[in-house]
Amino acid sequence: MTDTLKNIVSMATWGFRDSIVGTLTTWKLDKPREQSDSRRPVSEAETTLARRRAERLRHKEDKKKSEPNVRNRIFLCCAWNGGVCWLSILVFNYFLLPCIYCFTELLVGGEDSHSFIWSWLGPFLSWTFSALWVLPLFMLSKLINCFWFQDIADVAYQTRRGSPRLSSLSFFIADIVFSLLLEALFLMQGLAVSFLPIYGVGQFISLVHLTMLYSLYSFEYKWINMGLGVHQRLSLIEKNWPYFMGFGFPLVLVTSLPSSIVISGCIFSILFPLFIISANEAREPTATFDIALPIFAPVITLSNKLFYTLSGKKMFLARHPRAHLPGEDTLHLVELFMFCLPLCRTDTRYSYCLAPKLSFRLYKYMCNFISHKS
């Protein structure tokens, strides 16, 4: 028992360290490109072969320049989510509202009458600001962040590991749709266990769920590029759950500090690119832990039943290592995607927008497939 606890603490510390140390490699990802761009070809005789080589080299350099830059994407995430979304909320709450409060107090004069006016004027201004500015801006940021997150993940993966492995289109759609549905149900499972009547136990189990979920978010980009299916990704987390619990703990801790849902989402969007890079740089354990934690088993069973009910046949079995999807079932998956839309939500514990995530990953898949064929 004591050795097991020591191993849990050791692996959790390992994951916590990887999540922090991996962020320090952020600025090194663009250096190989800069170094390759700085190298110029040696002048050759103006032969036909030399001209062709020069044209191919210029084409490669232009292609590299057009590819996204990690530092630029991270700066855009910080500027948009912190400088626009978060800053606008702070300015409204701590500058505009106090100024309006003082102005109405000077205009009305009487304390009782001013208190009565502000009792409905203050909430009205807050609700108007939230409905006309905060909510549209927050939803737009979720869509924009999907593009930036994917660009950062692709550049980090290609820099360290080369070109991603491409699976069939039907399998790719099935995998993403199933994982989105499963993640939404897993979030609900984590929220449900937080209401356990035993004080502290429900909150701790919910914390474990969130650390696993955030680790899955971070590693999912790398694992999908490696060609791992959803059953393999979940199995990796369940077999080494102490490591992934420690990896996701810093992000859960920081995003749970604000009381505002929107501010928490802004903090998540600022820090999440760093955790994508940390997951790409991490060396997760190869040997499985002594005790596996089948924490995803209930939502996997429920997801399979939902797929079976909606499609009329069992289309995807996440637990089966040979799970695959025939090409003719793609249409059923597109219809199932419409079912997943009501599950799209953004709150303190779930800062993904599922529909943009699916559509943009499908777009990236088609781009990678075309470039791979060419």
Residue 48 has pLDDT above 70, yes or no: no
Helix (H) or strand (E) holding 143: helix 135-161
Compute the average pLDDT of residues 73-91: 89
Cα separation, 88 vs 77, in Å, equals 15
User: Which residues have CB under 8 Å from 183's CB, separation 6+?
Assistant: 213, 216, 352, 354
Tell me the pLDDT tens digit for each residue of 264-273. 888 999 999 9
DSSP 8-state code for residue 343: G
Higher pLDDT, 316 or 224: 224
Beta strands in 99-219 (DSSP E): none
Compute the average pLDDT of residues 88-113: 87
Give the pLDDT confidence score for residue 61 in this predicted structure.
52
Return the number of other C-beta atoms located less than 10 Å from residue 22's C-beta.
22
Locate 178 and state its tokens. 């199933």
Give the pLDDT confidence score for residue 305 in this predicted structure.
83
Cα separation, 303 vs 212, in Å, equals 18
Locate 174 and state its tokens. 């099935």
Higher pLDDT, 172 or 130: 130
Domain locations in the chain?
A: 2-31+46-373
Tell me the pLDDT tens digit for each residue of 312-328. 544 444 444 434 333 33
Give the pLDDT confidence score for residue 26 in this predicted structure.
74
Asked whether the beta carbons of 32 and 159 are under 8 A apart, the reply is yes
Asked whether the beta carbons of 357 and 184 are under 8 A apart, the reply is no
Give the pLDDT confidence score for residue 138 in this predicted structure.
80
Angle formed at CA 136 by CA 354 and CA 275, multiple of 5 degrees: 45
Higher pLDDT, 352 or 94: 94
Tell me the pLDDT tens digit for each residue of 146-186. 888 888 888 888 888 778 777 667 777 777 888 888 888 89
Compute the average pLDDT of residues 224-237: 88
Least confident of 231-245, 272-286, 324-338: 324-338
User: Which residues have CB under 8 Å from 208's CB, separation 6+?
Assistant: 245, 295
Partnered with residue 347 across adjacent β-strands are 350
Cα separation, 151 vs 153, in Å, equals 5
Compute the average pLDDT of residues 125-129: 91
Least confident of 19-23, 91-95, 250-254, 353-357: 353-357
Give the pLDDT confidence score for residue 219 in this predicted structure.
94
Give the pLDDT confidence score for residue 177 in this predicted structure.
81
In which region does residue 330 sit, left (phi positive, over 0), alpha (psi from -120 to 50) or beta (all else)? Answer: alpha
